[in-house]
Every structure is written in structure tokens, then in C-alpha cells.
Amino acid sequence: MIQINANSGSHVSLTKTEQSVALKTRDNLEADKKKLYKAAKEMESLFLYHMLQAMRKTVPENDKSSSGFSSNLGKDVYTQIFDQELAMNVAGNHNSSLADLLYKSMEKVVERQAGIVVDNAETGRMILPRKVHIPIREADLFSHSAKHSDKSIGKADSVRERYGEIIDRTAKRFNLSSGLIESVIKAESNGNPDAVSHAGAKGLMQLTDTTAAEMGVDDVFNPEQNINGGAGYLRRMLDRFSGLKEALAAYNAGPGTVDRYGGIPPYRETHSYIEKITADLAEKNSSAD
């Protein structure tokens, strides 16, 4: 049994035996997550199927609709098979799908049941959950877009002008290119340190409360803390996945989503996000030449 002080909120070094147990737990957790996502997709598929059946009942019968079938029974069987296949193919195909929402609502439950939040197999360390107070300032009680519109960045080089020194220090710390961090900031917040997304991601690199806590960020609206937290998380994604695009997909949609799809998920938002960053990096490289 691995005894861990859950209140420490720190990395815990494990023995080889404990590492083996942790890795096995991680494998079991990933298997449970795949089963959960499959169940969520089947649930959405069942819902869509019954919705299609209900919609068909609103369509008046037409003599021409039975053409090609020897009986109404043959038509009904074919229609049911078609609707089932259509529902299964549509289910889970975008990041706001019912399957995805069901999965996300249950994912943390599965993780808590496994007793871990993050298992880093490369370092043999577990990152434990901790309660972190995210300060809410008076300014945050009002509309960020209205109150802080002057902080929204319009010029292409403003991110570099305002945060260049922080970005360069952070890039060296995590062995990243400054250009990559700049491009992610532009894609995430357009350089607005007070940006808050509809999903609750905050600051320059749009950290969720969970990611901020995981990366040790106490004030997500502090530019240096936010950039350090976002860059550190991006470094983890680059170490975990095979290429830059997969790492960016994990940063945008979550590493679990990339694992489920075995690569970049078929989300329009994620593909657009990757294209925006890679295009900005390409422009930087061509300017440097």
C-alpha cells in the first residue's frame, strides 16, 4: 500500500515497487476511462437513435417511400439499421457532444476512485491533488471585456513587447522556444492577462483552476505565474506526446482526449487552434530568415 500525505500538494518520490503499483494503477485508470467514454458514446447513440425514430413518426406516409421493398417490414428493418449506424457515427464527434459532456462529468469520479490525479510514468512521481485558493479580485466581478478592453492586444508584436522578458526566462527554464510560448499566448488570450473564457480558463495562457493548481499557480492573473504555469504544462505535453501538433491538441482539448483518439481529436476548434499556432510560428521563422 502506498501511503501519501494528500495535504502536502507536492511530488512524492516512489520506490521501484511503488512505481510498479503506480504504473499498473495508471494502466487500469486508462482502461476504465476508455470504457467510460465508450459507454458515454453508446448512451448518446441510443439517445440520437430514439430522436431519429421520433422524428420519422412526424413524416407523413408516402406510397413512393416503400418503393424497392417487398413489404413495410423490410423497409422498417432497413430504416432501423440505418438510424442505428447514423447515430453511432454521429455520437461523440465534437467537443460539445453529449458523449463528451457525459464523459467529462464522470472522468474525475473515475480518477478519484483510482486514488490518483496525475501519474507521471517517465519520472516515477505522482502529482497529488491539493486545494488552492484562486484569488478573485474586485475587478473580476465585472465584465473583463468591458473593464479591461484596453489590455486586449491588437498589434502583432505587443505580446513580445509587454512580456518578452518573462517569456524568454520561462523558455529557458522549460527548454521551449520563446516563439512557441508567444504563439500560444496569442492564440489563447491575444495577450490579455485578465481574459476569462466561457469555460472558466483564465489569464494569458488560459489556465483552468485544475491546471493552475497542478502547476503551482496561486494567481492566474499574474502574468509571470500564468506564463510559467502554461509553459510548464506545455512542456509536459511535449514530453508525453510524439509531436508538436499532438502536444498542442493536448493543451487545447486535454491529454485524455488525445489518448482516446490516438492522436489529434476530430474537433474543429482543436484543428483551428493548431493551425493558428503553427501558422504564426511559420511566419516568425520566415521573418527571421
Catalytic entry in 44, 111, 182, 188: 188
Nearest residue to 207 (alpha-carbon basis) of 231, 172, 191: 231
Question: How many angstroms separate the Cα of 272 from the Cα of each of 95, 205, 235, 288?
Answer: 13, 17, 21, 24
Q: Whole-angstrom Cα distance, residue 252 to residue 270?
A: 6
Question: How many angstroms separate the Cα of 148 from the Cα of each of 115, 182, 191, 235, 257?
Answer: 41, 20, 12, 30, 33
What count of other Cβ atoms lies within 10 Å of the Cβ of residue 225? 20
User: Coil, strand or helix: which one is 213?
Assistant: helix
Residue 188: active-site member: yes
Query: Which of left, alpha, beta for 67 (phi over 0: left; psi -120 to 50: alpha)?
Result: beta
Which residues belong to the active site? 188
